[in-house]
Amino acid sequence: MSSYRIISLKFKNGRIVSELKKIHTNVLDNNPVIYIYYNLKKKKIYVGETNGFIRRHNEHLIESNPKVDYREYTNCLVIYSSLFNKSAVLDLESLILNYMIAESDTTKFVFANRNNGQTELVYKNKEEILTDVFYKLWSNELHKLGLVDNPNIDELRESLLFKYSPFKQLSAKQKMIIDEIEKSVINRYLVEAPAGSGKSVVLLT
């Protein structure tokens, strides 16, 4: 039995046109979920998380954002699980986006997400989320739909694009450095650290 479930939605000009069962309506209204908007023809993706998908979807439709028109997305995957809590969905959102960015040169997808520089999350059932949800979701549903190219997470983890992705989760120290830089009025900075400590990730964030 799968550790997660998926609701597949179709849109027409932003309006949900899929027929929904009552159980699905309840999930979309009240549960912590990961959602992936996509348009395969236009090669556009947006990855998000929320505790109330219907509310969040309606908020997207009225957003004034010159960089993204949510009515362009034709489909959406909504992933939910009894394992999910706020930390889990935040972690999954970052993981899915990070790995998708890592292979974007191959898939040619354009992502509307902005980098929030999220600190790496530690929570009780993280290992279960990784093995029973993320790895399986990536290699099965996301790969079969053509949203990802390489089903092998280990290969992607070793890629340079993944290592230097600006969407990569930040350590607490990296986050602190970036916060200090953003608050300061100084224009130039010298960040010194040993090789392999994450200076490039800070630079790209």
pLDDT value at residue 143: 98
d(CA 196, CA 121): 20
pLDDT value at residue 78: 98
Beta-carbon contacts of 24 under 8 Å, excluding residues fewer than 6 positions away, are 7
pLDDT means over runs of 10, the chain (205 residues): 93 95 95 98 96 97 89 98 95 92 91 67 90 96 97 80 57 64 65 53 46
pLDDT value at residue 167: 53
pLDDT value at residue 191: 64
In this structure, how many other beta carbons lie within 10 angstroms of the beta carbon of residue 158?
Answer: 10
Q: Which residues of 88-127 are buried (b: 16+ CB within 10 A; e: fewer)?
A: bbbbbbbbbbbbbbbbbeebebeebbeeebebebeeeeee
Phi, psi of 65 (to 5 degrees): -135, 110
pLDDT value at residue 196: 46
Which one, of 40, 32, 31, lies nearest residue 10 by Cα? 40
pLDDT value at residue 201: 47
| Proportion of the chain in helix, strand, coil states, percent, rounded to 5 | 45, 15, 40
Per-residue pLDDT tens digits for 70-121: 999 999 999 999 999 999 999 999 999 989 988 998 999 999 986 554 556 7
pLDDT value at residue 2: 83
d(CA 150, CA 100): 10
Which one, of 88, 113, 90, lies nearest residue 100 by Cα? 113
pLDDT value at residue 119: 57
